[in-house]
Structure 1
């Protein structure tokens, strides 16, 4: 089997898709979405595609090495997101060629089903509590909510943290202590504010506090994890095993969150999970993306003994161009059954979809200065 053609497509609301076609008629799909730069990642694929034409798609590791090392410059979210989508498509093809789900080729299942969490929140404590109750009634035993939901000063007003604590506290009261609540800070805090926030929510027993600060300063993150009284999770902006190695060696991270559309794909994220396992850290892949990215995550989740919980968004479960999207039942998703990534793609529906031009929202402080979204 040889690769004959590689194409890309932008798909609403902010996703992208790569197809790898072969001389045997099999097609593999991957999601190289880099939010706000989806067209750029697709351009990287189109520019690099000649390196893969004529190659055997089942030589996944070899082709990954060509893509990562063959262009002299290595790493970064653009290159590795593009590689991630291509690598997902190679696993999809290999599983289809061999008639096996991808997780069986990654070492087999470590569990019978995959725990997932939903997103919930609200502008007021009352609204947040009601959203949490709905999540529990829907069968989930875990949710993630946001903090720092707006432009953040370097040192924020006490009322800002107080409002977050009130909302999250109302959610805890609504669902009780037999339910997990994760808190996503979107790396909007400075280290000083992150420590203040972590101290403020510690008594609410969050499952983890996600991205309290940017991961670009490992020393600052190391100091924070040494002082925080809550489990810290991070990783959605990191790529490849090399960056996660530095993170795990220097920081007391409880949960790593590689994104399978950014960090390098299935095999690379499986390697990241193994690194995390050696530091007794859990795996909770980041995935606010589409159904192909979610499917890729589910296979790594199935094959990783230190898997904790999987993120997903509602749009990934209802995309009209997927004939058999994953289904959540009582807070879990069944192991994928079909070969490859296990999705059946409706090309007729895809053909009618317009491209998107989603850009990252831009936030400003009251004085007009740039704030992190």
Structure 2
């Protein structure tokens, strides 16, 4: 693959890891390798607890964390929330943060690593196909619905970043989800196809040709081509054209890094990604819908577009966190508190 095209694709469509980074929320200091502030360090009776689980999904082993509320009693009934992580993220990062915070509000929650990614199984590694990510969400619903104490008739969904786009798609047909929320929604297919903020529309056909060649190579020789690897200096990060990518490199590569988190993915995945759009058939969502985004996020256009198109929702609300960028909704205590407060209000009314 042409190196220049790879570089453009990476900068405009992915986030990456930075080498030699210092860790503000060090996974190595947490027994559950959680990367977020005020993460659980031990299971204490009477408090929110974390439970590592695994289950099979279409022959692939999925690893997940289930969070149970304070004074959890498996003989009682609790509403539950499925949390879908961002592209390249893992359950120990922002998905875990929101899963823990919602468990503090009385919900049983689950955050799982996507199939072929993170700590979950599947070969070749780092396939990134929408059909898999959507199936991951259905699979989390399968598992958590049978977890002790879960009221399967009271199931909510929260998708973050890329997980938000895939949650919109999953909820179109999976009516086990009684309410749907997104945080900093990222329409992966739209960005992989057109580039971030439509910055790559002139290279669509060239990139499709490269993806087709990668698929042919896999079939003929078993060789897997990847994109999304990057090792940038602070100076290079500062020169990236979009705030999402600048802050993303810092979040994923420095302050909240995790060894299972990578934005490396197979080039052949683009065959499916570039024909996907989270808003296709979005009118099928008839559940209550809440979409949260930062008012200063350069990704806000994707949330606004999806919100307008979600014409079939029983009720819908666009909630902007004043002053927040995309990545700041992942970790900034002020903005996280506002998002959790709104989510608690939303699920309280609709679960």
| TM-score for both structures, normalised by structure 1 | 0.31
| TM-score for both structures, normalised by structure 2 | 0.32
CA radius of gyration, larger in: 1
